[in-house]
A and B are shown apart, each in its own frame.
Chain A
Amino acid sequence: MIIIGENINTSRKPIGEAVEKRDAAYIREAARRQAAAGAHYIDVNAGTFLDREAESLCWLVETVQGETGLPLCLDSPNPKALSQAMERHRGEPMINSISLEKERLDSLLPVVTSRPCRVVALCMAQTCLPTTVQDRFDAGVRIIRALTGAGVPARNIYVDPLVQPVSVDTRMALAALGTLRRITDAFPEVHTVCGLSNVSFGLPERRLINRTFLALAAAHGLSAVICDPTDWQLMATLLAVEMLLDRDEYCGNFLDAYQDGRLAPGR
């Protein structure tokens, strides 16, 4: 499972303040902790800065890559901010995200084909958020074809099935899980990704719900997850999940983690 560390997001108060003040030390520590916890990508998001998003995102890219050699996941709905940030990025970034919404597709397609990168592709068409597995799958097929048609290799595409809250409609987790299964069956080379927090919006004990959803999603073919790698319970769940899905020879990682005390509280 590819882990994309989600903590450097300016909508979180301390991160927002650190970016505002250009407190590089704070951001570097946030990056270091996630890298140490096993992140493969570090997500950076300065969406709350509105007009100043591009410059803040660029500063984040430089600051984080000053601390860690990990590739970044450039997270923004703003094509300008994304392309500027991409220019600053050393190595192959992940672009979060593209969708079938016309403006977004038109402005981002040239960006994601300008140099090697991974692309998060949302199963979302123009008119409204999808409600069924079929809607999502159809949108997924179209965005995959749009990207591969433009020259993006299938293995660089990370399809996001769009997880919606079960508090509003108790069928929503199944809709995302069904989509993961269909996409991975139809396109074995394509990767899948999702965030964990949407599913529990509007409910208490969100971490419990989120880490349980991770287990379900992994069993339905999820290849990458956007999450907080410093959440030890989540990472412990992931270790158990990988082992249960026969991805841990001799249960080695799980037992190492146990020996290190990473499966228990008080770390």
Chain B
Amino acid sequence: METLGALKEAVIKGDIQKSTTETGKALEAGVAPQDILSQGLIGAMDEVGERFAKGLMFVPQMLRSAKTMQECVGLLKPHFEEGAVVAAGKVLIGSVKGDLHDIGKNLVAMMMEGAGFTITDLGVDVSPEGFVEKVREVEPDILGMSALLSTTMPAMRETVQALESAGLRDKVKIMIGGAPVTEEYARQIAADAYAPDAGSAIAEARRLLEV
């Protein structure tokens, strides 16, 4: 679909004016809102995520593309019937107890939203008990945890254990990230996945949910 190619390019470039115009054109041409969303918008953010992970695009460009996508989603919303949008999955995310850093977490949340996941962001300094309570309440497919300090990383292990004690461990896939975090550490604490940046987080999330 040609219209969507132009839309996709405009979102990748972060051109709000062009992309909202293209979104309008696509709607007028009778393209289904779900297709505009998945091929035009989510498709664009996937490309952004890939380029970011490869070092071809940078954080400010990612933010700009995400904002652009949000504007277009705003135009599509009134055209969706109640419950007609199928999310790729539900994600719960937060920075662990004692850790106030949130830039990386916010980028991941934003990219995941762009990829069509529904995000509940618990913010920073979330205790293991806090995560457990929210997992029980929200029933996410994926729990994402972020830590920027080596001293707060142990809270990730504690959270995994707390979920086990609460009988919830097998109900959710756990993904971790943050500057001091490694693939090795994810294995040690029996997390399900590790991602080094917001771009790869999407690929990992899809792998976990087999979508």
Contact = CB atoms under 8 A, between A and B. Distances in A.
Majority SS at the chain A contact face: loop
Given A47-B150, A50-B154, A168 B103 contact: yes
A50 B103 CA distance: 23
B103 A53 contact: no
For chain B, the bracket of interface size reads 10 to 19
B122 interface: no
Residue of A53, A77, A127 ringed by the most chain B CB atoms within 10 A = A77
B150 A202 contact: no
Given A48-B180, A77-B149, A77-B151, A201 B59 contact: yes
Contacts of A201: 59, 103
Contact of A167 (B59, B106, B150, B179): B59
Given A11-B180, A129-B102, A203-B58, A168 B63 contact: yes
A153 interface: no
B59 A50 contact: no
Contacts, number: 50
A164 interface: yes
A124 B98 CA distance: 13
Q: Bin the interface of chain A by size.
A: 20 to 34
Given A128-B100, A168-B103, A50 B153 contact: yes
A124 B125 CA distance: 14
B119 to A, nearest CB: 18
A202 B154 contact: no
A212 interface: no
Interface in A121-136: 124, 127-129
B124 interface: yes
A162 to B, nearest CB: 11
A112 to B, nearest CB: 18
Nearest to B197: A202
A101 B100 CA distance: 10
Interface string B106-120: 110000000000000
Given A48-B180, A129-B100, A203 B60 contact: yes
